[in-house]
Structure 1
Amino acid sequence: MNIGEISTRSGLPAKTIRYYEDIGLILPERSDNGYRRFNENDLHRLSFLGRARALGFSIEDCRTLMALYKDEARASADVKQVATEHLTRIEEKIEQLQSMHETLSHLVSECAGDNRPDCPILNDLASPKACHKG
């Protein structure tokens, strides 16, 4: 398969596939004229990476998961640890987003949104107490 075919079959843009090659996540063969030649194993790896990235795993997590997937002697506990750490990061982001939502909702409800210059949103943003918490 050429890059166009594997892009279509994997659902990943050619640019992403080239990037994954550049960072060593996939290593397609090269024909005599230098063109990439992909096989079914490459397609499987790219599909794996696409799904992992869609779940928000970092490139390094993907590298670890790929290595674990290839290792038939792996312990599922190692895979679970990677996933659990990622889940913890997701939960922390959700908490941060909920806090941002609550704060902004409150500020929007306090703002009259009229022609007067007084604005609780701007006042809060300018307040030293509003500095980043995380």
Structure 2
Amino acid sequence: MGLQWVILGAVVAAEAAVAALLILPAPRVIKSRIVALASLFLQPGAGILPFAAFQLLDLHWKNEHRLMCTSDVCTIEERTRYEKSIFKAQRNIILCVLACLLYWCIFRICKYHEELRELEEAEKRLKDQ
């Protein structure tokens, strides 16, 4: 079970690095190369969306069927284990949401740069006429 969260964490870290590269100021040539490279990885990277959605569904199902430990009958160890599992579930939910959000941000930034490039080309053609 832990491997899927390691994979999701690595994907979130990679998406955060790509998003940082896309928003940092750079010369036009370098920026266009970075955007082109990020655009190439957008379609295969879309696989993270159903993966994160499945993980969210799994977390929801586990939350619905988790044994509650809120009464005085539970021992300290059981209560600690219960609280630890709740914290892990919350962390994993944040990872899933971040994976989807960062993918969307990268997609929109690439689209923005693409539209900006098309507008600059149109402006250049109008000036040449």
What is the TM-score when the length of structure 1 is the normalising length? 0.35
Q: Which has the higher contact order (CA 8 A, sep 6+)?
A: 2
TM superposition score normalised by structure 2: 0.36
Which structure features the higher share of helix residues? Answer: 2
User: Rg bigger for which structure?
Assistant: 1
